[in-house]
Amino acid sequence: MLRAHKSQPVLSADGLRFAVVGSRYNRRFADALVNHATRTLHKAGADRADVKVVRVPGGFEIPVVVERLAASGHFDAIIALGVIIRGETAHADLIGASITRELAGTAVRHGLPIIHEALLLQNEEQAEVRCVKPEHNRGTEAALTAIEMARLMQEL
C-alpha cells in the first residue's frame, strides 16, 4: 500500500486489474514512464498478472489500443503513457489534441478511469524531469491516480 502524499489516503492496488499502454516513440522517456508506473502498481499490491503492459509505436496509436482494452471489460483502470516533444511544425499539437479527445471519449463511453499521461513537452529537459526523475514522475503519478480512481469507481 502506498500514500501519494501525506494528506491523501493509503492506496492499495490489491485485487485491482490495470492495463498500461505505452508508446515506444522517444523510447528512453517512454520506457521510464512505463517502468515507474508498473513499479508503483506492484509496490501498492497489484499482482504481476493483474498488470498488462501493451506497447505501441507512437502516441497516435495509444487511443485505439486503449479503446480495445476498455471494451474488453477486464480492467479497473487503464494508464496511457507517451512522450511527444514539440518540433517546428504543428504535428505534435495535433497528435496531443487527438489523443486527449479520444481518451476522454473512451473513459466516458465505458465508465472506466483512463489516466492520460501522454505528455506533450517542449524539449528533452522537460521530459527528463517528468519521465526519468522520481520527484515529479508522471508514471508514478499516473499509477497512483489509477488506483485511487479504480477504488472510487468501486464505491460509486
| Catalytic (active-site) positions | 91
Query: CA-to-CA distance for 15 and 120, rounded, in angstroms?
Result: 32
Continuous H helices in the chain? 27-43, 62-72, 91-110, 124-127, 138-155
The structure's pTM equals 0.93
Are the C-beta atoms of 127 and 26 separated by less than 8 Å? yes
| DSSP notation for 26-71 | SHHHHHHHHHHHHHHHHHTT--GGGEEEEEESSGGGHHHHHHHHHH
pLDDT at 110 over 60: yes
- pLDDT tens, residue by residue, 81-97: 999 999 889 999 999 99
Q: Looking at the predicted structure, is the pLDDT value of residue 1 above 70?
A: no
Is CATH 3.40.50.960 what the domain over 44-155 is classified as, yes or no? yes
Residue 85: the pLDDT is: 94
pLDDT per residue over 14-68, tens digit each?
Answer: 999 999 999 999 999 999 999 999 999 999 999 999 999 999 999 999 999 999 9
At CA 151, angle to CA 119 and CA 40, rounded to 5? 50
The pLDDT score that the predictor gives to residue 5 is 52
Mean pLDDT of 93-113: 97
